Amino acid sequence: TLARKPLMAGNWKMNLNHVDAVGLVQKLVWTLEDKRHDPKKSEVVVLPPFTDLRTVQTLVDGDRLELGYGAQDLSPFDGGAYTGDISADMLVKLGCSYVVVGHSERRQYHGEDDNTVNAKTIQAIKKGLTPIVCVGEGLEVRRADQHVDFTISHVEGALARLTPEQISSLVIAYEPVWAIGTGEVATPQDAQEVCGAIRRWLAERYGDATADQVRILYGGSVKASNVASIMAQPDVDGALVGGASLNPEEFAAIARFY
């Protein structure tokens, strides 16, 4: 796992306006400095709403902590008559490095399926953004003990038509839906079971060299108090953090897990 730099990504979801964003990012940077965060030991990324991206861009400009940022969604299309949508080029122009694709809330509330997630993943890569592709099962699937197969089918759907070279650069986030925003955390062993299965599947399909480069995150009620045990798992390379990323001290402590 040494080759893969841990990634701590904070998904703000539909919270905070561009004024709140100033306070949160400033406090996050101060706290990381206070805790002697070493950017070589974990990469810290914030994922604000579209309307806050310009503000975040201004705040992190020239920041020596190298705080990264990105968006929570993108259009699969280049541009044109798609009212309300945001293109990859627009995100690139705002300095985004990352974009979340296929979050369970988009799958649930916007009907995104494997084809949509695949089209958005391809578009992100084509435009130079690193997609954070979200996969994972709901409670019924977990109870039926189908969580590994179900999650692998999400991965297979999301990555259709990608080359091994494209795959090596992407980030996959395993998020069991029953553990998102519920305070219900999968055990470190649960996280490892599925993250390990994803990496084995990648290795079988695309080869070890590719599989070894893909960063696989765990997401679902990650907090400062549980991050270390999750990060101790060999196939977990970081966390996608929702609620706790809205508290700068908490998120800084998560980023400073090492």
Residues placed in the known binding site: 11-13, 181, 221, 242-243
Q: Which two tokens stand for residue 6?
A: 């841990």
Ramachandran assignment for 161, one of left (phi > 0), alpha (psi -120 to 50 degrees), beta (any other): left
How many angstroms separate the CA atoms of 166 and 159, rounded? 9
Q: Which residue is nearest to ligand PEP (CB)?
A: 242
Cα–Cα distance measured from residue 39 to residue 66, given in angstroms and rounded to the nearest whole number: 7
Which of 240, 252, 253, 254 touches ligand PEP (CB under 6 A)?
A: 240
Structure tokens at 136: 């994972």
Q: Which stretch binds ligand PEP (CB under 6 A): 18-26, 56-64, 142-150, 237-245?
A: 237-245
**Sign of the alpha-carbon torsion through 187, 9, 134, 50:** positive
Rule CB under 6 A: say whether 42 interacts with ligand PEP.
Answer: no
- Binder of ligand PEP out of 181, 187, 207, 228 (CB under 6 A): 181
Q: Would you name the residues annotated as active-site residues?
A: 103, 175
**248 binds ligand PEP, rule: CB under 6 A:** no
Is residue 73 part of the contact set for ligand PEP (CB under 6 A)? no
Number of residues counted as binding ligand PEP (CB under 6 A): 13
Task: Look at the alpha carbons of 203, 7, 170, 62 in this order and tell me if their dihedral is positive or negative.
Answer: negative
Query: At 55, which helix (H) or strand (E)?
Result: helix 53-60
Q: Which of 48, 68, 76, 243 binds ligand PEP (CB under 6 A)?
A: 243
Q: Mask of contacts with ligand PEP, 214-233, x by CB under 6 A?
A: -----xxxx-----------
Burial class (CB in 10 A: 0-12, 13-18, 19+), 63: middle
Q: Which stretch binds ligand PEP (CB under 6 A): 20-28, 112-120, 144-152, 239-247?
A: 239-247
Interaction site with ligand PEP (CB under 6 A): 11, 175, 180-181, 219-222, 240-244
